[in-house]
Structure 1
Amino acid sequence: MDVNSLFSTDYIEKVYAGFLGMNAGIRLGAPVEPTEWTADKILSVYGDIKGYVKDYNTFSADDDVNGPVFFIRAHYDDAKDRELQPQDVGRAWLNYCRDGIGMIWWGGEDASTEHKAYNNLKKGIKAPRSGSAEQNGIVQAEQIGGQIFIDSWGLMYPGKPEKAAHFAEVAASVSHDKNGLYGARFIAGCIAQAFVSDDIREIIDQGLTLIPDDSTYARVTRAVIEFHENNPENFRDCLDFLHRDWGYDKYPGICHIIPNAGVCILSLLYGKGDFARTIEIATMCGWDTDCNAGNVGTIVGVMNGLTGIPEHYRKPMNDSVITSSISGYLNIVDMPTFSKEVALLGYQLNGEDPPAGLEDSIKRGELYFDFSFPGSTHGFRVSNTFKTPVIRHNPVIGDGALQVVIDRMVNGDKSKVFYKPYYRREDFNDEKYKPVFSPQALSGQTVKVDVFLDQWRGSEITLAPFVRKTSSKQDVFMEKRILKHGVWTEIVFTLPPSGGDIFDEVGYLIESRSTLDNRAFGSLYFKNFHVYGKSDYRIDFSLLKEEFISLMPFSHNRGEWNSEGNAIRCKASENCASYTGNYFMRDGIVESVIEPVEGESHCIAFRAQGAERGYFIGLDGAGQVSLILNNFGFTRIKTVNFPWQYKQKYKLKVMFKDNALRFFIDEKEVLVHDDETFTYGMIGFGAITPGETLYHSLLVKENI
């Protein structure tokens, strides 16, 4: 297939298929990841795997997803108008990781390559030195992480394996070297080639051209190819060969790349291009199951497209994956939206014009689901699977819509169809990589959707917009709307005051007054679901719960944060912060009553774009307040006198609109400054030096 024609045809859908494929492989492999699970143990317990071995309430991803989702943000933050450099990706590591929690495997500097690389970056050792064999030793440099973070670069350079390999190496060099980099080049190149080839052997051969011919990675690849040519039927024979000649016993460290590279090649060849069989074989082989199944899942996902991913692998994902960055808002990942963002980057990086409507369909800081992708559901759910047994994508109505089938509903029957803009620990089966969450739907915002009713029988069907409060589990309903058969109806409502709670469901209650002899039967179709507008909310600190090592909905980065009745106590031994709110919030007001206990730094954070980007403002040293720029280091950009005292409460308020920043204490303006470094970001609290602070409240208003 011609690369240029690819950009004008099915590129975006193939990106979506690749991302779905990656996540399906990771979800399949994660429950049997070593060290306890060997290939023999997997076989004895699960036999010949033909589907997910565990049902998750909600799948919380690990580093295999976190890296591809967040490290490409280097293109937004630093490499916006120039070619990507290793330190750009290194800065993304520092900015989006919570120090010591989530995102990557924090297995100790002497065991985890990623932990070592992060600490190198934190110490000022820049990429690629941060991941080099000279810095970390050859064993750590050649663990598997070099190839598990780079799928997105393969997706961004369709049909251009050389470019995909180059930029995958740039990204992987933050943490890996030698064969660790060759794996990154190989996998990214195979993903890029899968856009233009449906021949697995051709894809593998293309990957081989991108790495040194005499490298161990190339040698294990050729060895598996040769074994397969002579023994093409039973993958377990090839696995025995890998254990004998290329096993973990020959490659030191926790998870060396070479044995796992052999599994990736094995599963691609013995899977024969079939999506399901490829990720199943990768999982049944053991070793690093989620990494291997994820990487090959991206390759065969792209190659086969959406129609090649079986429903029993796609449906449980429900278009949603949970990640573990410092931004709780960004951690709820809608797969179609993320796929569009990757595709848009692909168009831009390749100098191609994106198709009409793509940029407008990506509304950063808002929820917008148009259901345009085949099979897309955008994470929507129903509460009553008996009366609304089918929720799926319909490609015909409205050029794509979410279909909800109503099955013989009578008076008293109810079902909610809803999206989750916030999650709790109870929504998950396990801790995984400690995700944290900030709400994606807030009081004061507007919710809009288009609904079409195809009613087959029964009395009138109504929809009542609703939200659910996460602490009380109370549903708050708005005015019911009577739907008309065969007509699109626009339903608009405003998210009500939450009373300091957080909304964890937003959607619509379906009811009918139909009687038993004329039960309501038909389908609802939803299109263009949109949550947007300016928020106006407060957080009731008495409702905070410690979950995932944070007081949700805050995301803590260093420091000791504890709930004390109606307050949060922060004890800082170094600089620390705690963030919440919409990652893309631009203008607004943030208010907090704070009480300095000891130390010299007691601040509000605003327009924070991660751990290393944003502003702090507040009490800063004896008798003064400061506006502090956090840009991979703290700079006081303005300081004024203010005679504050310990153990006294102060009402701090910061107003920010465009470049104008204004700061008030007890409603008296004490600092004004213009600065254009950061124009949007999260809000929260922080300190830049050791100390202790009590935070008594938080109010946020965007309507200024």
Structure 2
Amino acid sequence: MIPIDYLQKVYAGFLGMNVGIRLGACVEPSSWTYERIKLMYGDIKGYVKDYKNFAADDDANGPVFFIRALYDDAIHRELTPEDVGRAWLNYTREGIGMFWWGGEGVSTEHTAFLNLKKGIKAPQSGSIEENGIVLAEQIGGQIFIDTWGLLFPSSIEKAAKYAEVAASVSHDKNGLYGARFISACISKAFSAKNIEEIIEVGLSVIPKDSTYAQVVNGVLNFYKESPEDFASCRKYLEDYWGYDRYPGICHIIPNAGVCVLALIYGQGNFARTVEIATMCGWDTDCNAGNVGTILGVFNGIEGIEEHYRGPINDFIVASSVSGYLNIIDIPTFSKELALLGYRLSNNEAPKDLIDSYKEGELYFDFELAGTTHGFRVSNGFKTRIRHSYEKGYNSKGSLEVLFDRMVENDSSKIFYKPFYRRSDFEDERYKPTLATKAYSGQKVSLEVFLDKWEGEDMIVTPYVRNTFNQEEILLKKHVLENNLWQHIEFIIPDVDGALIDEVGIILESPSKLANRALGRLFIDNFHVSGKSKYTIDFSKQAIEFLCVTPFSHNRGEWSIEDKAMKCISKDGTSAYTGNYYSKDISLKAEIKPLKGYEHSLIVRGKGIYRNYSAGFYREDKVAIILNDFEYKILSSTEFKWEFGRGYDFQVEAIGDNITLYIDGSKILEAKDDSIENGMIGFACGKEGESILYYFEVEEK
């Protein structure tokens, strides 16, 4: 049965995973030995680095994207390894992001990916027979599986089975046992009474004579003799189960020992558990992330300390091929996971959960405890935000904004960031390419409640920010009435080919010094919805994270030259942007082919291997093509075209009808209902070069 607090536990588990990843990532490289971590940071009690925004991490990428096999293939049937293998191929940009590209025969994931590319299907792609036992038993088997445990609360065997199926794409033997163990622990954490019970359940789903079971039992036995001294247990691991005994870059066995050590010595305390996992060294972000998920579920959201939770601010980024999906609001993703969990258990989800998740839209209802949905303030001296259950618009939760003694000329922006730039991050971990989640033409609505304690009028001005010139575009001002919910609504204005990286309101007051404004503002039901209509002007874009904003590139060389985007392909390349959930759409672009015979616009791109493309196809031909892990020409015709000339392309996907226009004339039409939604983009097949001068997008 799905527990009553299922959504809250999923939220706590996924948030706990990201707390652990963020804490451990700072000391992950092998140069950070146990001794150096202790020397530099001592007894860790909080984040050792203050990231302004934490960049992408493979430990979150895998749990977020490999479960998409349940949306794309295993919709009404059991999951297979081949389903997850297709998710790997479809969402991973070759050679960048998603996981560690350490080289074939060195990185397990890199090797498995290349096997998949060669046509070696899962689970053979991750087998010992194919890759050898060393690669098969590296740590990746257990670090990408947290979400499988979250999807099957207290369904231990199901969680273990699905985790094993997913891990078999890249791992084998102890690599699979680690997947089963951790996923079962997460699943049991929904109902367990203590940590020992969780670990016992993990052991129950793996072979009793396996090396994995041996290291788990070794740690448990040591704990019985020395229950107060985790450092001695860490030395025991070093002496008997250390990296020197297990070859490869990052073997699963030593790290399995650390996970169990942290769980048993942390004794149910979330903070202490992720801290111990970090202080023990080795693969710190992986281990702290795994135990963070377990303890997040076990304790619930109240068990995650604010000094760990606050800096995350309900926000992470990922690094798949979809820049739209890469910007992750943790409460929204948790709702998506919970809805999937209900589906997999054949249970009907609660109506309030169904209503609170709006696919392809931004919708923040602040119902989950402590949620901020990534909102920020620009003036931290005069304003402060936190979650509140004191006020809610036809609900119990809202975002509370304290404003403190504001006078004329004081102001503070209260905003959500639908897009991020390289400058928003300190590092480049796993290259998180991004596409904006709010577009010109869409409607923004929110409810606000003023609780003014003293002072003059409070005024809010809706605004968006143009990321190219940093200009704040101000819309109609609203003078707020006290003690009353008020509806604010506006249309996101056109930004002339640039992108939008802030959406929100500016709070200010004409109060004088003698009567300063003090009080609170509550915000609820923040919603960005409706049809977008926008352009991408390449003269206003930049190369960031090895891509032209706001695109994610797969293969090829991409650059900005003379206010245009240029691509060079050696053996096929593609680029993707836009709302992953767009359905009916018109995409226009000027394309100048320079070399090669395949130059096409992409619509309804659900990934690298699932999309429609329309454009030049071979010499003097055009075609509309379905790509669903193999190419199918839906329609084609003769069309004389030449290199070095610009052509105005337009591709429309309306219902099951796909139409190609060139220079204003209708050239081709096809009908197909295989793919109902996806990104937009461009592809240059085989060897070729192309120049694109603009993108013009309109959702229908």
Quick check: TM above 0.5? yes
Say if 2:402 and 2:520, in contact at 8 Å, map to a contact too.
yes
Which stretch has the larger CA shift, 142-151 or 618-627? 618-627
Question: Match for residue 595 of structure 1?
Answer: 592
Instruction: State how far apart, in whole Å, the 2-side matches of 1:393 and 1:574 are.
Output: 50
Q: CA deviation at 1:662?
A: 1.2
Give 1:313's match in structure 2, choosing from 308, 316, 328. 308
Moved more, 335-344 or 354-363: 354-363
**Aligned partners of 1:64 and 1:8: how far apart in 2?**
27
Pick one of 87, 97, 104 that aligns with 1:102.
97
Among candidates 294, 304, 321, match of residue 289 of structure 2: 294
Cα contact 2:105–2:131 (8 A) shared by 1:
no
Query: What's 1:336 paired with?
Result: 331
What residue in structure 2 maps to residue 467 of structure 1? 464
Partner of 2:685: 688
Aligned to 2:405: 408
2:64 to 65, 69, 74: 69
Match among 479, 483, 495 for residue 482 of structure 1: 479
Indicate conservation of the 8 Å contact 1:438/1:580, yes or no.
yes
Distance in structure 2 (CA, Å) of the matches to 1:679 and 1:263: 45
- Contact 2:127–2:170 under 8 Å retained in 1: yes
In the alignment, does 2:346 pair up with 1:351? yes
CA distance in 1, matches of 2:546, 2:27: 25
Deviations 1:304-337 (A, max 9, x none): 0011000000000000011001000010000001
Residue 689 of structure 1 and its aligned partner are, at CA, apart by 2.1
1:169-248 superposed matches below 5 A: 169-248=164-243
Contact kept? 2:634, 2:671, Cα under 8 Å = no
Q: Distance in 1 between matches of 2:289 and 2:102?
A: 21
Q: Which runs of 4+ in 1 moved over 4 A?
A: none
Any gaps of 5 or more consecutive residues in structure 2?
none
Task: Return the alpha-carbon distance in structure 2 between the equivalents of residues 209 and 537 of structure 1.
Answer: 55
Question: 1:60-117 CA distances to partner (integer Å, 9 max, x unpaired)?
Answer: 1311000001111100000001011111111000011011100011010121000001
* Cα-to-partner distance string for 1:607-659 (whole Å, 9 max, x where unaligned): 10111110111011111101111111222221111111111111111111101
Deviation at 1:570, TM superposition (A): 1.1
1:8 deviates by: 4.8
CA distance in 1 between counterparts of 2:556 and 2:638 reads 27
For the residues of structure 1 that align with 2:390 and 2:153, how far apart are their CA atoms? 29
SS at match of 2:355: helix
Give 1:257 shift.
0.2
Query: Aligned match of 1:562 in 519, 541, 559?
Result: 559
Q: Which runs of 5+ in 1 are unaligned?
A: none
Does residue 10 of the first structure (1) align with residue 2 of the second (2)? Answer: no
Whole-angstrom distance in 1 between the partners of 2:211 and 2:356: 44
* Distance 1:213-1:8 versus aligned 2 partners, 3 A rule: closer
**AA paired with 1:545?**
A
Does the 8 Å CA contact 1:8/1:355 hold for their aligned counterparts? no
Q: Distance in 2 between matches of 1:406 and 1:519?
A: 10
Query: In the aligned structure 2, how far is the partner of 1:593 from the partner of 1:160?
Result: 53
Question: In 2, distance between residues paired with 1:31 and 1:121?
Answer: 32
The reply to whether residue 393 of structure 1 matches residue 387 of structure 2 is: yes
**Cα displacement (A) at 1:361:** 1.6
Matches of 1:166 and 1:137 in 2, distance apart? 23
For 1:575 and 1:169, the matched residues in 2 are separated by 33
Q: Match for residue 499 of structure 1?
A: 496
Q: Does 1:447 align with 2:441?
A: no
Once residues 402 and 262 of structure 1 are traced to their aligned partners in structure 2, the CA distance between those partners, rounded to angstroms, is 41
Aligned ranges for residues 526-541 of structure 1 at < 5 Å?
526-541=523-538
Q: Distance in 1 between the 2:409 and 2:134 partners?
A: 64
Q: 1:261 to 1:288 in 2, by over 3 A?
A: same
Residues 362-391 of structure 1: per-residue CA shift (max 9 Å, x gap)? 111110000000000000000000110x21
Instruction: List per-residue Cα deviations over 1:234-258 (Å, max 9, x = no partner).
Output: 1000000000000000000000000
Query: Partners in 1 of 2:530 and 2:693 — Cα distance?
Result: 27
State which drifts further: 687-696 or 250-259: 687-696
Is it true that 1:622 corresponds to 2:616 in the alignment? Answer: no
Letter in 1 for 2:388: N
Aligned-residue offset at 1:544: 1.6
Aligned equivalents of 1:304, 1:339: Cα separation in 2: 16
Amino acid aligned to 1:698:
F
Question: For the residues of structure 1 that align with 2:628 and 2:564, how far apart are their CA atoms?
Answer: 29
- Equivalences for residues 46-125 of structure 1 within 5 A: 46-125=41-120
Q: Counterpart of 1:397 in 2: which secondary structure?
A: coil
The aligned amino acid for 2:651 is: V
Q: Which amino acid in 2 is paired with 1:301?
A: G
- The amino acid across from 1:474 in the alignment is E
The 1-side partners of 2:346 and 2:613 are apart by 38
Q: Partners of 2:381 and 2:622 in 1: how far apart?
A: 59
Structure 1 match to 2:522: 525
The residue type paired with residue 67 of structure 1 is G
TM-superposed deviation, 1:589:
0.8
Relative to the length of structure 1, the TM-score reads: 0.98
Are residue 377 (structure 1) and residue 387 (structure 2) matched? no
1:509 aligns with 2:503: no
- 8 A Cα contact 2:157 2:205, kept in partner: yes
Q: What secondary structure, in the 3-state scheme, does the structure 2 residue paired with 1:244 have?
A: helix
Pick from 618, 631, 634: which aligns with 2:631? 634
1:304 corresponds to 2:321:
no
Tell me which residue corresponds to 2:146. 151
| Separation in structure 1 between the aligned mates of residue 73 and residue 355 of structure 2, nearest angstrom | 23
* 8 Å contact kept, 2:55–2:432: yes
3-state SS of paired residue (2:26): helix
